[in-house]
Structure 1
Amino acid sequence: MKLKKYISLFIASCSCVWATSCLGDLDQEPILDKSSASIHNEADCQAFLAKIYSGFGLSGNSSDPNVEPDLQGGDQGSLVFLRGLLSMQLFPTDEAIWNWTDEGIVELCEIDWDYTLPYAYTFYQRAMLNVRYCKEFLDVYHADSDIKDIQKYRDQVRGLRAMNYYYLIDLYRNPGVVWDDSPTDDKSWKPSQIGAEALFEKVVNELVDLSENGDLDETPSMATYGRITKPVINTLLAKMYLNAEVYTGTPMYDKAATYAKKVIDAGFGLEDNYANLFCGENHLTGIHKNEIIYAIPFDNVNAKSYGSTIVLTAGAFGGDLDQTWFGMSSSWTCLKPTRQMIEFFDESPDAGTDSHGSRIKKDKRYAFYDGTGKRTPESKMQDWDSGYLCYKFTNLGWDGAAVTPTPDPNTDFPLFRLADIYLIYAECAVRNAAGTSKEQAVEYVNRLRERAYGDQSGNISLSDLSLDFILDERARELYWEGQRRSDLVRFGKFTRDYAWAYKGGTLEGVANLDSRFNVYPISDRDLTANPNLKQNTGYESLK
């Protein structure tokens, strides 16, 4: 049995332990009976830790009466952290559209939502539940516990809490706060907001303490795959500081570059074959080059959900793009790249056709299917036959090895990887961050492009390095990895001066929209349940 399977079994074990609903989380009874000494043992501690880790890839109980009826059963995928993140980061951008008109999806694709947006509710609830679990763990398993490695477990949980808050700040800017001093065992207590700047400082201070003093592994290895390590903490710091001007109004690119360099120096390397990063055996990067800094593990048996990488595999396959070519026995015919996404690769020369007769590019990051030249790039919603299709994520084996197709993928989701860190450093250099070198930035970018092109023909020079180039290169390298909306907001192009398909409700797109869409609303249901919360600017009334 491969190590990945042990990881998946560890995560799946939580399905029978600590079970609670995914929604209405802060109104629940305490997760544990804190008067019981029976929980203070290694097995229960690890089971609870597994529950917290699983909060990124699994959903919870579909039959719980506390869950909204329309969010049970077949729609339970919307409760999964990863699916919520992908939906909110991909669909309102130039990367992709969802082919079907599921509730809330059209609003996302058209950037035309209000505070009744379903995903604004479900993702907030999922992330806040994750935070609640972290608080409960830290309350129960104290640093003076006699459980072996308890300090490492506590520091991992602190890192997971900070990771949830990174995404909550990025999407909502000013969510409610559940922290060490929150009286979560009091059912009448409800979290309040402290403001984006204060929350940013709280989370950053936690991360800095973990980076400098935490009992966490410092170098990547197969043993730390899918776990919080010091490089994961430093990655979060790099990303928090990279977006600090958006979150707080104060640019902090110097600090972003500092922490990006710490990650680069930790011992990671680029995987030789880009496709291996997104295949059904991508955990093996932990043996070869350790490019994946943090992954959300999935497999076809023990860690699967409707919100896993099935969204990026089965979701993208179907019709004349046969799912069995890529190791899947299921297809959803839902997820398609936009024409604008295809055009980012116009710079790369054609390199013939693949075994299915579809055009390929010299840039191997180009993973789009044109149906032997019969499909046109323009994707239309509710029309699966329009547009190119995408096979970036597959369920194939290492180096494209054939596998027996399965209905759910074994493909892990690479939440953070070294390529992103290279591009963060390069962006900071272009923004003239202290301690950076533009020559070093060009070298990092060219490492990515040499892997993509197979030689130096795609390399750039110092004169090519610009913010526009960085934004486009991030699209080419990181598409469908849950980064794009944040990038467009940081570069000032999400609501201004840039049109793409369906933005604003037309196929051609609308360049300029109200700036309120740079932040998601707090759901009306959360506002009703918790009078301590205040709505984000621009969403005070229904449209």
Structure 2
Amino acid sequence: MKKIYLMTITLLVFLSSCSVEEEILDEVNGNKVITNPDNAEMIVAPPYAYLRDIQNRSGVWGTLQSVTDELAWPARGSDWVSPDLQALFTHDYNPRNTYIRNTWNSFMLGITRCNVALQYLSAFPKSDKIDGYIAEVRFIRALCMFKLNDNFGKFPFREYTETDYSVTPLILERPAAVQRIIKELNEIIPVLKNKSELPYGRVSKAAAQMLLANVYLNHEVYTGTSKWPETIAACDAIIGSGQYTVADDYWGMFQYDNAKYLQNTESILSVIYDETIGLTGSVWVPITLHYNQRFGNFTSLLNGCCTTPTFVDTWDTSDKRFSDRRLINQLGFNQGLLIGQQYSIAGVALKTRTGEPLAYTKEFSIKNSKEEAGVRIVKFAPNPSTTNTSNAGNDFPLYRLSDTYLMRAEAKFRSNNVTGALEDINYLRNTKRGMPAYTSLDLDKILKERGFELYWEGNRRTDLVRFNKYRDARAEKNFVTPAYKVLLPIPISAIEANSNLVQNDGY
């Protein structure tokens, strides 16, 4: 008998405290599940679960950060030797790069999961509950479309009603894709609920307004026509709702038990993790710390990625976002950027495996680095007492209010409203983060402020492209990237699967 695979959820509070397991149902029982409106939560679970893939080290997050100045994966002797991985940082990527393929496949998987859910949900009798779930799933689909458009410039798309899979899907290129995403978001925003009406972690009206603001913020990149007033209006709607507040404690948002703090302050949309029930995310800490920086149950560390001198040199080290020492007695290291000599919890100066001082340096070689080369970043605090050291349990703030202020400041500045831009950026920088207020502003300061506030949260590639900095020479990439590489290559596997999908120019 044919089998139907469904994600089932034991609901404590939908998506804020749940256990997820895969159950194999026979055709009869499976059809009962997918035709019963009482099981709507089961049907929307796979699209929501997909959001966790956006933090994947070998796919979306790891790929899109690695092509910027925020993240590099140096080869260290015989460790971390991966031509595809190093090619991301040096912009030597091509259509056969496995990490770019993983990223493309991830977004396409997200669209597929959403379309399957929409097929089932649309067959249910209409109700406010079903309409709300449909709008939430359409948001997740629009997010995947935005990411494909932003990074690849085109993608195949079929509507959930198009179930004849022998028909080749439509290829959406940038102008059509942007129009389609804006239309989708404007349709669902009136249907979506406010934060106060939803459990934490669900897609709210403000989440869709945030995605819409991002589309408008980058509209000139995509189409050649700017949409600064529209960007400001979308940000105004979020800020003016009064449902969100900028966090006073920056590092409170990134602790291992950050859910409640995010929920009560900045979180417009968080991707929920919970290590107590096996919902865990990226290996934030093991991938970057040196082998000998052991603490608690963390005994298998990987000494992998680092940030770059280019990014480090943008910082004023007195900025509270640069580092935080609240957990140093439990970890031996600070959160934020780790530079210089590293110590154990007991305060003993650590050494490399060859006996050299474990002192992180700004400089590194992408092709052959020493163990201690490269400044490390620990944005998301580990739980020292966890027994699950492979993956993190921190919730990931996909959208938060600080970014809304930064987007609005940038749109105001680009609209020649410098006074308004200064008010927004100084509210965040001075009032909330305790840094000296700017008395003048330029695009370089705005980009730097975005880096200070949002580093390692997955925005950097899009920002660098918009500020015309993506192609710039930088540490270990001492050349200007060819213009065609601003768009990533379409994976060769995708082109082989669809004869109508044409490779981006230059590859």
1:454-483, Cα deviation, whole Å (9 max, x unpaired) = x4x52212x2x1111001111111111111
1:93-120, Cα deviation, whole Å (9 max, x unpaired) = 1111124233521110111111111122
> 1:65 aligns to what?
none
> 1:309 aligns to what?
282
Does structure 1 retain, via aligned residues, the 8 Å contact 2:72–2:306? yes
> 2:7 aligns to what?
none
CA deviation after TM superposition for structure 1 residue 154, in Å: 0.6
> Does residue 12 of the first structure (1) align with residue 20 of the second (2)?
yes
Q: Which amino acid aligns with 1:159?
A: F
> Does residue 538 of the first structure (1) align with residue 503 of the second (2)?
no
Q: Tell me which of 182, 188, 207 is aligned to 1:204.
A: 182
1:276-318, Cα deviation, whole Å (9 max, x unpaired) = 21121121124432x021112222243546xx232x2221223
> Does residue 177 of the first structure (1) align with residue 184 of the second (2)?
no
Following superposition of structure 1 onto structure 2, how do residues 495-506 of structure 1 map, counting pairs within 5 Å?
495=471, 498-503=472-477
Does structure 1 retain, via aligned residues, the 8 Å contact 2:116–2:160? no
CA deviation after TM superposition for structure 1 residue 45, in Å: 2.4
Number of residue pairs the alignment of both structures matches? 469
The alignment yields a C-alpha RMSD, in angstroms, of 3.2
Provide structure 2 residue ranges, at least 5 long, that are not aligned to the other structure: 1-10, 75-79, 343-357
Aligned to 1:175, the other structure's residue is in SS state strand
Aligned to 1:193, the other structure's residue is in SS state strand
CA, structure 1 residues 300+219, in 2 after alignment: closer, same or farther (shift >3 Å)?
closer
> Does residue 441 of the first structure (1) align with residue 448 of the second (2)?
no
Q: Which amino acid aligns with 2:215?
A: M
Following superposition of structure 1 onto structure 2, how do residues 388-399 of structure 1 map, counting pairs within 5 Å?
388-396=375-383
Q: Tell me which of 255, 264, 285 is aligned to 2:230.
A: 255
What is the identity percentage for the equivalent residue pairs of Structure 1 and Structure 2?
Answer: 26
CA, structure 1 residues 329+452, in 2 after alignment: closer, same or farther (shift >3 Å)?
farther
> 2:268 aligns to what?
293
Q: Which amino acid aligns with 2:378?
A: Y
CA, structure 1 residues 379+279, in 2 after alignment: closer, same or farther (shift >3 Å)?
farther
Q: Which amino acid aligns with 2:406?
A: L
CA, structure 1 residues 4+95, in 2 after alignment: closer, same or farther (shift >3 Å)?
farther
> Does residue 245 of the first structure (1) align with residue 245 of the second (2)?
no
Q: Tell me which of 382, 389, 399 is aligned to 1:416.
A: 399
Aligned to 1:112, the other structure's residue is in SS state coil
CA, structure 1 residues 371+247, in 2 after alignment: closer, same or farther (shift >3 Å)?
same
> 2:112 aligns to what?
132
Aligned to 1:268, the other structure's residue is in SS state coil
CA deviation after TM superposition for structure 1 residue 394, in Å: 1.2
Q: Which amino acid aligns with 2:313?
A: E
Following superposition of structure 1 onto structure 2, how do residues 75-86 of structure 1 map, counting pairs within 5 Å?
83-86=58-61
CA, structure 1 residues 152+33, in 2 after alignment: closer, same or farther (shift >3 Å)?
farther
Does structure 1 retain, via aligned residues, the 8 Å contact 2:55–2:62? no
CA deviation after TM superposition for structure 1 residue 56, in Å: 2.0
Q: Which amino acid aligns with 2:285?
A: T
Q: Tell me which of 464, 469, 488 is aligned to 1:520.
A: 488
> 1:230 aligns to what?
205
Q: Which amino acid aligns with 2:314?
A: F
> 2:35 aligns to what?
40
Following superposition of structure 1 onto structure 2, how do residues 56-455 of structure 1 map, counting pairs within 5 Å?
56-58=51-53, 83-99=58-74, 100-102=80-82, 104-142=84-122, 145=125, 149-181=129-161, 183=162, 185-211=163-189, 213-214=190-191, 216-220=192-196, 223-266=198-241, 267-289=243-265, 291-304=266-279, 308-310=281-283, 312-324=284-296, 328=298, 330-346=300-316, 348=318, 354=325, 355=328, 366-372=336-342, 374-381=359-366, 382-396=369-383, 403-404=385-386, 406-407=388-389, 408-432=391-415, 437-450=417-430, 453=433, 455=434
CA deviation after TM superposition for structure 1 residue 486, in Å: 0.8
Q: Which amino acid aligns with 1:273?
A: D
Does structure 2 retain, via aligned residues, the 8 Å contact 1:314–1:323? no
1:161-188, Cα deviation, whole Å (9 max, x unpaired) = 101111111111111112244x2x3232
What is the rounded CA distance, in whole Å, between the counterparts of 2:464 and 2:132 in structure 1?
36
> TM-score normalised to the size of structure 2?
0.83
> 1:469 aligns to what?
445
What is the rounded CA distance, in whole Å, between the counterparts of 2:28 and 2:223 in structure 1?
39
Q: Which amino acid aligns with 1:294?
A: L
Does structure 2 retain, via aligned residues, the 8 Å contact 1:143–1:151? no
Does structure 1 retain, via aligned residues, the 8 Å contact 2:65–2:71? yes
Aligned to 1:378, the other structure's residue is in SS state coil
Q: Which amino acid aligns with 2:135?
A: D
Q: Which moved more, 1:140-149 or 1:242-251?
A: 140-149
What is the rounded CA distance, in whole Å, between the counterparts of 2:338 and 2:177 in structure 1?
40
What is the rounded CA distance, in whole Å, between the counterparts of 1:255 and 1:322 in structure 2?
49
> Does residue 482 of the first structure (1) align with residue 477 of the second (2)?
no
> 1:67 aligns to what?
none
What is the rounded CA distance, in whole Å, between the counterparts of 1:133 and 1:193 in structure 2?
19
Aligned to 1:7, the other structure's residue is in SS state coil
CA deviation after TM superposition for structure 1 residue 144, in Å: 5.2
Aligned to 1:416, the other structure's residue is in SS state strand
Q: Which amino acid aligns with 1:477?
A: E
What is the rounded CA distance, in whole Å, between the counterparts of 1:262 and 1:83 in structure 2?
35
> 2:351 aligns to what?
none
Does structure 2 retain, via aligned residues, the 8 Å contact 1:40–1:147? no
